[in-house]
Amino acid sequence: MKTWFITGASRGFGALIMEAALASDSVAATARDPSSIADHPRLLKLPLDVTNEGQARDAVARAIEKFGRIDVLVNNAGYGLLGAVEEASAIEVERVFATNVFGLLNVTRAVLPYMRSRRSGHIINMSSIGGYASSPGWGVYCATKFAVEGVSEALSIELAPLGIHATVVEPGYFRTDFSQCPVLEQHRRENRRLCRHRGKDAYLRRGRESSTARRSTATGASDRAACSGTQAADTSRARQRYGRAHRGEASRRGARARSLAPGVLVDFRSVA
């Protein structure tokens, strides 16, 4: 039986991965507010703001005290920033990097000493399709995921001699509650206001049509993606990446994402 340490476990992929892991393993589930996470005999709920390095060390120490080990770290905590690169303020950019990149590093640094002492473990970093193909409106968010890709590649090489695996997972578009993040909501409203103010009604209509076209996402896709997250922890067939397309396919996906950018800017909830 393994012990998982999952950040951002109160919603989205984090909650789904936690549920899948609890079927057979123990889980330390963290979130800014873990009160919404249901109780389970093999579950330890911990409050954690990943931008607070001291809090990350404390949460990891409590998980070790409870379970004695951490076999799998899932760095899932993060949020999106929707808007043109020029429109994103310095403080908004700093905050999203603080969570998506520096927060991931805080938790990783807290967990690695325990994995090194056992010379085993698996770090799973949740990236995105935006980690290898950016698109209009998502420049800053994709920049954070590009950073996660670079960190994950280096970790995979650095940790291999120590018996520790590192994997980056790159989901595409799934029906989770990612779009309900307050910051993302704020930016979507602002983009609508700017488009109307500039008289871009046709732009808005195209966005709605593109969003409607994306609603064919298969039921249960998010659950299958969560299963992929748990499968990534199988060290007997560990891979550096899950979800990355071949170069040609990546280019086609990038072009498709850019062609649908208005839909993403105007109404992301319908396609997420």
Q: Are 8 and 31 in contact (CB under 8 A)?
A: yes
Q: Report the DSSP beta bridge partners of residue 5.
A: 28, 73
pLDDT in tens, 173-186: 665 555 555 555 45
Structural domains in the chain plus CATH codes:
3-177+218-246 (3.40.50.720)
DSSP 8: S
Residue 262, pLDDT above cutoff 80: no
- What pLDDT does 272 receive? 26
Q: Which is catalytic among the residues 134, 135, 145, 222?
A: 145
Residue 127 neighbours by CB under 8 Å, 6+ apart: 145, 148, 149, 152, 168, 169, 170
Sign of the Cα pseudo-torsion (95, 97, 103, 109, in order): negative
- What pLDDT does 194 receive? 54
Q: Among the listed ranges 6-15, 37-46, 170-179, 219-228, which one has the minimum average pLDDT value?
A: 219-228
Read off the pLDDT band of 270 (50, 70, 90). Answer: very low
- What pLDDT does 132 receive? 82
pTM of the model: 0.72
Instruction: Out of 114-128, 163-177, 222-236, 250-264, give the one with best mean pLDDT.
Output: 114-128
Residue 116, pLDDT above cutoff 80: yes
Residue 170, pLDDT above cutoff 50: yes
pLDDT in tens, 123-147: 999 998 888 888 888 999 999 999 9
The CA distance from 247 to 253, in Å, is 10
Q: Which is catalytic among the residues 2, 26, 45, 127?
A: 127
Please say if 145 is a catalytic residue.
yes
Q: Nearest to residue 108, comparing CAs of 81, 162, 67, 70?
A: 70
Residue 93, pLDDT above cutoff 80: yes
DSSP string covering 88-124, please?
S-HHHHHHHHIIIIIIHHHHHHHHHHHHHHHT-EEEE
Residue 184 neighbours by CB under 8 Å, 6+ apart: 79, 80, 81, 82, 178, 268
Q: Which is catalytic among the residues 26, 114, 128, 141?
A: 141
- What pLDDT does 216 receive? 38
Question: Is pLDDT larger for residue 255 or for residue 174?
Answer: 174
Q: Are 58 and 37 in contact (CB under 8 A)?
A: no
Read off the pLDDT band of 82 (50, 70, 90). Answer: confident
Q: How many CB atoms lie within 10 A of CB 174?
A: 19
The CA distance from 29 to 24, in Å, is 15
Section 30-53 average pLDDT: 96
Question: Is pLDDT larger for residue 8 or for residue 205?
Answer: 8
Residue 202, pLDDT above cutoff 60: no
Mean pLDDT of the residues in the chain: 78
Q: Among the listed ranges 60-74, 129-143, 243-257, which one has the minimum average pLDDT value?
A: 243-257
Q: How many CB atoms lie within 10 A of CB 247?
A: 9
